[in-house]
Amino acid sequence: MPSSGIKPGLLRKMTVRRVLECLQEHGPLSRADLTRETGISAPTVSKAVADLLESGLLEEGMAPDHALGRPGKKLQLAQDTAQVIGVVLDVRECRVLSASLDGAIKSQAVVFSTPEDYPQLLEALTKAVKSLETEEVVTLGIGISTPGLIDEQNQRSLFSPNLQAINQRSPSADLTSATGLTAISVQESRALCLAERLYGNARGLDDFGMLDVTSGLGLGVFSGGTLLSGQSGLAGELGHVTMDPNGRQCGCGNRGCLETLATDTALAVTVSAAIGRALPIDQVIAEVQNGNIQIDEQLELVSEYLSVALAAAINLFNPSNLFVHGRLLTLNSNILKDVIARTSRRALAPSFEECDIQIAGSSKDQAAVASIVHHLTRSAGPRVAE
Ligand SMILES: [Zn+2]
């Protein structure tokens, strides 16, 4: 294999990344396990591990070694010595929480209503982040699950139809200035994809889709093991396909976009119109479950449009699994079955038959955490020397 073009620093970084991927996939491992799993030489693995321990991304502890029948030293993603912070930016409320590097949520989320004014939003986020920092544990960074179109390369929100306060702003750069912590914004459907692959039901899957149908409608796609981005990270905006040219006004400025018809918000809006008072989706669900309101008609319509979204994702990307993240699917146990039946009538049969449709196993909290963990592990940590 020609090696003249590869710099030693790059090789070292690749080893570091491979070690991190291995620990993310398998959990705690000894140095010997890592050498065997990665196929990289023991001294090279040891150097990478030393860098990672130094950076705070890994910690070493005693864990039961089943092969030896006694506890042995194991390396793991930091659980006690370091933490990351997840920020979920959303239309109605924001959530800020801390987690260990293996994705386990550590704190109760700080929740506040999303201010309409950007400086106020930034102030509230900064305050929440600072409240989660502790003396004992190193905070390695902040992941921000962000709605709308984001130039992820330049970390700028280009246009967010449902959260316009962040348009042309950079919440990640501003949070870094305010807190001194590395911060990264990832588009919310893409962040959910990362979470599902790291912590949810997409572990080990290379071809899957994630349809987020909460406030807006977004699609994240892993194809051949790669998260699809388009040329500047804006791919996946299935929600702004026109379904009804004369339909309801969408946050993007057009009318009748799929996201005005097939989301939690769409259901809440149509139910609110029918009963004559404005209810957010959580209250709609509570009222239905308490038997106070009946929403069969509205639910049927939203389910039909949701099946259009699912069928489109299946026809376009031929995924092995399609995960759906939405509160409306939790209304009762039959909704998913009903949506799948509708999808079967719309999608192309060979692609539909190969695709397993499930409710997403990961949350937006985990999506925010996965964004920063992915960033730190992909860039091999903030303090790792090249
Ligand atoms: Zn739209």
Alpha carbon of 131 to ligand 1 centroid (Å): 36
Alpha carbon of 188 to ligand 1 centroid (Å): 16
Alpha carbon of 125 to ligand 1 centroid (Å): 27
pLDDT, position 110 = 97
What is the per-residue DSSP string for 172-204? HHHHHHHH-S-EEEEEHHHHHHHHHHHTSTTTT
pLDDT, position 5 = 54
Q: What is the pTM of this model?
A: 0.88
Alpha carbon of 351 to ligand 1 centroid (Å): 27
Domain with CATH 1.10.10.10 in the chain: 8-77
Domain with CATH 3.30.420.40 in the chain: 82-193+365-378, 201-361
Q: Output helix, strand, coil percentages for the chain, rounded to the nearest 5.
A: 45, 20, 35
**Which residues, 6+ apart, have CB-to-CB distance to 86 below 8 Å?**
95, 96, 97, 98, 99, 105, 142, 143, 145, 365, 366, 367, 368, 369, 371, 372
Alpha carbon of 27 to ligand 1 centroid (Å): 41
CATH superfamily of 201-361: ATPase, nucleotide binding domain (3.30.420.40)
Alpha carbon of 256 to ligand 1 centroid (Å): 7
Q: How far apart are CA 228 and CA 355, in angstroms?
A: 18
Place of tokens 């986020």: 125
Q: By three-state DSSP, how is residue 241 classified?
A: coil
CA distances from 75 to 67, 189, 382 (A): 16, 31, 19
pLDDT, position 166 = 96
Q: How far apart are CA 130 and CA 18, in angstroms?
A: 32
- Contact between 262 and 256 under an 8 Å Cβ cutoff? The reply is no
Q: Yes or no: is domain 8-77 CATH 1.10.10.10?
A: yes
Q: Which run of H or E residues covers position 26?
A: helix 8-26
- Strands 321-325 and 208-212 turn out to be parallel
Alpha carbon of 340 to ligand 1 centroid (Å): 24
Q: Could you list the pLDDT tens digit for every one of the 386 residues in the chain?
A: 444 455 666 677 778 888 888 888 888 899 899 999 888 899 989 988 998 888 888 888 876 655 555 667 899 888 888 899 999 999 999 999 999 988 899 988 999 999 999 999 999 999 999 999 988 888 999 999 999 999 988 999 999 999 999 999 999 999 999 999 999 999 999 999 999 999 999 998 999 999 999 999 999 999 999 999 998 889 999 999 999 999 999 999 999 999 999 999 999 999 999 999 999 999 999 999 999 999 999 999 999 999 999 999 999 999 999 999 999 999 988 999 999 999 999 999 999 999 999 999 999 999 999 999 999 887 654 343 33
CATH class, domain 82-193+365-378, is alpha beta
Alpha carbon of 371 to ligand 1 centroid (Å): 25
Alpha carbon of 279 to ligand 1 centroid (Å): 22
Alpha carbon of 77 to ligand 1 centroid (Å): 40
Alpha carbon of 265 to ligand 1 centroid (Å): 13
